[in-house]
């Protein structure tokens, strides 16, 4: 059956929310998989914490759909799927614990940037449509993503110094 074309900003918004719902579900799996690849307790703890936050993000998105009186479309987020494939490839290629730690953290940073960009756009659209409650739920997710990125960048700075080639 052919996909129906989006003709309104509301339809685009629901589509983008559906894409983000798919992304969060994929990311929850990635966070669990990433924990198996790292041996650094600080990284493992950060991934565990964000896995719990990601479950809350999914609940917030479910509340957004309920508030809008919509159901999420059954779509797959290609961006998150690509990031997941990168993590799987890292796991297959293996390497030293330091390299795996740095690879997982680098992938987490990419993922956070994607989520921040997406949530920023969704918040703007929700506000433009006067969907105050929806915007508030999305802003909660955005804030947690921004906080997580700061944590990741701090860890990443340490790890890069450990694995950087000697000059």
Quote the CATH superfamily of domain 9-71+94-163: Ferritin, core subunit, four-helix bundle (1.20.1260.10)
List the chain domain ranges: 9-71+94-163
Q: The pTM is what?
A: 0.92
pLDDT in tens, the chain (167 residues): 446 788 999 999 999 999 999 999 999 999 999 999 999 999 999 999 999 999 999 999 999 999 999 999 999 999 999 999 999 999 998 788 988 999 999 999 999 999 999 999 999 999 999 999 999 999 999 999 999 999 999 999 888 777 666 65
Identify which of 153, 65, 140, 163 has the alpha carbon closest to the alpha carbon of residue 112. Answer: 153
**Angstrom distance (rounded) from CA 90 to CA 160:** 16
């Amino acid at each position: 059956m052919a996909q129906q074309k989006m003709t309104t900003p509301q339809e685009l918004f629901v589509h983008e929310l559906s894409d983000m719902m798919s992304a969060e579900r994929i990311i929850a799996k990635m966070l669990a998989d990433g924990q198996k690849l790292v041996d650094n307790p600080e990284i493992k703890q950060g991934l565990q914490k964000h896995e719990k936050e990601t479950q809350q993000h999914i609940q917030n998105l479910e509340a957004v759909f309920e508030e809008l009186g919509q159901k999420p479309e059954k779509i797959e987020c290609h961006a998150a799927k690509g990031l997941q494939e990168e993590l799987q490839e890292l796991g297959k290629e293996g390497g030293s614990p330091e390299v795996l730690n740095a690879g997982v953290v680098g992938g987490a940073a990419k993922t956070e940037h994607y989520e921040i960009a997406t949530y920023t756009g969704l918040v703007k659209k929700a506000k433009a449509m006067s969907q105050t409650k929806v915007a508030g739920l999305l802003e909660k997710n955005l804030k947690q993503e921004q906080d997580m990125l700061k944590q990741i960048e701090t860890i990443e700075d340490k790890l890069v110094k450990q694995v950087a080639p000697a000059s």
